[in-house]
């Protein structure tokens, strides 16, 4: 039986597309039971519809508070039967009380080597700091912004003369491979979270897993 997931996205949904492609290729045993967005016109919703995936667009302005919006959104997620929520370019901060209802069942992909550069403009910040490496992280979601336990990371070198756009473009394909690998590991049961610690094959990780050249997750 395929592992049921819901994907939340606010924009183009390139990470969603990577999950759809991996599923179609037979390498990812998941069932995307819902794609939801806070933007009714998000391209991610159109892509999901093109693949006959159920969609939901909710307008935050129709709710009196962030908590009410999040409760309505996640009521729909729960009704879909999803066992994992994947934040794939979802740009809203989720209410802490709602997050607490999904312990170890919500992940986010973030374009930096966390704990470096939580929040926005990560490529710009890495370049300004003179970093030699940059990357992406997939982490379990906690109430702290981009602060939950990190599952795995993909690393790329920063080249002399790199611009923000060039760095973002080079990292994007690695983000896609990283997210697919992490969702696959959770679906297979080789990765899970317990009391704020990531377990890999039942053993606690002291450092995030790394994405290797073949797209597999390996211990550091």
Residue numbers annotated as active site = 110
**Residues 210, 46 contacting (CB under 8 angstroms):** no
As a three-state string, the secondary structure of 26-86 is CCCCEEEEEEEECCCCCHHHHHHHHCCCCEEECCHHHCCCHHHHHHHHHHHHHHHCCCEEE
Provide the token pair at 91: 């740009």
**Four-residue CA torsion sign, 111, 114, 117, 119:** positive
147: DSSP letter: -
Provide the token pair at 210: 């790394």
Helical segments of the chain, H only:
14-24, 43-50, 66-80, 96-99, 122-128, 164-188
| Spatial separation of the C-alpha atoms in residues 115 and 6, rounded to whole Å | 26
């Amino acid at each position: 039986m395929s592992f049921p997931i819901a994907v939340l996205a606010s924009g183009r949904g390139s990470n969603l597309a990577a999950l759809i492609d991996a599923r179609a290729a037979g390498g990812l045993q998941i069932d995307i039971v819902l794609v939801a967005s806070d933007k009714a016109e998000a391209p991610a919703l159109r892509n999901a519809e093109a693949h006959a995936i159920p969609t939901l667009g909710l307008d935050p302005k129709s709710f009196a508070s962030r908590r009410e919006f999040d409760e309505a959104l996640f009521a729909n997620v729960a009704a879909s039967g999803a066992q994992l929520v994947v934040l794939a370019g979802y740009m809203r901060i989720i209410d802490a009380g709602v997050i607490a209802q999904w312990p170890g069942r919500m992940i986010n992909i973030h374009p930096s080597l966390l704990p470096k550069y939580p929040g926005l403009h990560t490529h710009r910040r890495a370049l300004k700091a003179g970093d030699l490496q940059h990357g992406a992280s997939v982490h379990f979601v906690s109430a702290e912004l981009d602060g939950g336990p990190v599952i795995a990371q993909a690393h790329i070198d920063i080249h002399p003369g790199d611009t923000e756009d060039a760095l973002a473009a080079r990292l994007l394909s690695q983000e896609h491979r990283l997210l697919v690998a992490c969702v696959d590991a959770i679906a297979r049961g080789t990765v899970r979270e317990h009391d704020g610690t990531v377990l890999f094959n039942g053993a606690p990780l002291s450092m995030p897993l790394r994405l290797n050249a073949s797209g597999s997750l390996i211990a550091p």
